[in-house]
Amino acid sequence: METLAPLVDRFGRPHDYLRVSLTDRCGFRCRYCMPDEGVEWTPQDQLMTTDEILHLCRLFVRLGIKRIRLTGGEPTLRRDYMDIVHELSGLVPVQITTNGTTLVRDALALADAGLAGVNVSCDSLQRDRFADITQRDALPEVMAGIAAAQSAGLMVKVNAVVIRGFNDDEVGDFVRFAVERGIEVRFIEFMPFLGNNWKADSVVPAREIRESAHRAAALTPLPGTPSDVATDFAVEGSRAVVGFISSVTESFCSGCNRIRLTAEGKVKTCLFLPPRTSLRDLLRQGADESDIVQSIRDDLSTKWEGHPSMKSWTQRDNLSMVQIGG
């Protein structure tokens, strides 16, 4: 496979991590992600096809992408998602972010397909709260899914968005859960997106989450790399790890190595910047590979150094998270 010059933005940041949204559909309606009025699902023919996804991912790998995360919406709703995992895993490590509802069914097949890891979103360990935030009474299913993924030998991380007055009293419970299961739990600061009921005072700063976690267990910092989104700590006396993702209060844009493709195939250079060129359209128009590559480089050259302060975020014209793919 012929390699191409790697993707580097104008601030010298190499971009070697691709996140691909497979669909904007989802069976959950998490209040911090899906606008209350719902979103208009992208019509099927507007989504990238399996071939388009594979074609573009192969091209990105030639451009130096070293790992791929499949996300959404709920990526496991696509009937072809297992084939995509299988095909892409032959190229680079592939991970998936999921609400966990299909893991009981699919964990073994995912392990066979070569999946490198699964992040499961779970924001409360209390059934009523879980149902309240996701608007689906699915905690038992998700817990069984996490267990199935572990039994299948997959590397599992649990993502919990911490929201003031909703689940900020569960940090210690999540740390104990990480210890019991021997897995990593990552606490994520609540970020603003279109229609997600975000308020500055709903954000629990990572510093405060860390303090709560420290009260629950002795934590030892683990070494990281500049592109890590989470600051990880080992929980002493266990195999568990807890991580803190402080996108709002302690941003980590200086090490950003991430580029995204929306489910419609548009390049998104940052979570908080509008989508740019539709690579799907370029493919459907029969564009030359060199034009597609140039378009990706041009889009990347518009990426900013980092996101502005929280106040101005709310005024920004962005998609909802379910449309972006976290």
Nearer to ligand SAM, 196 or 269 (CB): 196
In 3D space, the residue among 21, 6, 12, 95 whose CA is nearest the CA of residue 59 turns out to be 6
Tell me the closest approach of the beta carbon of residue 322 to ligand SF4, in angstroms.
4
Tokens (6 digits) for 48: 């990238």
H helix or E strand, kind and range, residue 261: strand 258-261
Binding-site ranges for ligand SAM (CB under 6 A)? 26, 32-33, 71-72, 74, 97-99, 121, 159, 161, 188, 190-191, 193, 196, 321-322, 325-326
The 57-96 site mask, x for binding ligand SF4 (CB under 6 A), equals ---------------xxx----------------------
145 binds ligand SF4 (CB under 6 A): no
* CA nearest neighbour of 125 among 205, 189, 180, 76: 180
The binder of 81, among ligand SF4, ligand SAM, none, by C-beta within 5 to 8 A per type, is: none
Residue 316 burial by CB count (10 A; 0-12/13-18/19+): exposed, middle or buried?
A: middle
Among 96, 174, 307, 319, binds ligand SF4 (CB under 6 A): 307
Task: Pull the structure tokens for residue 283.
Answer: 């493919």
Distance CA 252, CA 77 (A): 31
Quote the CA–CA distance of 133 and 124 in Å, as a whole number. Answer: 9
Q: What are phi and psi of 137, to 5 degrees?
A: -85, 75
Which of 84, 139, 149, 256 touches ligand SF4 by CB under 6 A?
A: 256
- Chain positions 32 to 61 lying near ligand SF4, rule: CB under 6 A, are 33-34
- Only one of the segments 25-33, 39-47, 83-91, 168-176 lies at the binding site for ligand SF4 (rule: CB under 6 A); that segment is 25-33
The only residue of 21, 23, 76, 99 in contact with ligand SF4, by rule CB under 6 A: 99
Report whether 87 contacts 126 (CB < 8 A): no
Structure tokens at 292: 């597609």
| Binding segment toward ligand SF4, per CB under 6 A, in 206-214, 238-246, 250-258, 284-292 | 250-258
The residue (of 265 and 325) whose beta carbon lies closer to ligand SAM is 325
Distances from the Cα of 278 to the Cαs of 252, 253, 320, in angstroms? Answer: 27, 24, 18
18 has which bridge partners?
68, 259
Summarize as ranges the residues that interact with ligand SF4 (CB under 6 A).
Answer: 26, 28-30, 33-34, 72-74, 99, 121, 134, 251-253, 256, 258, 270-272, 306-307, 321-322
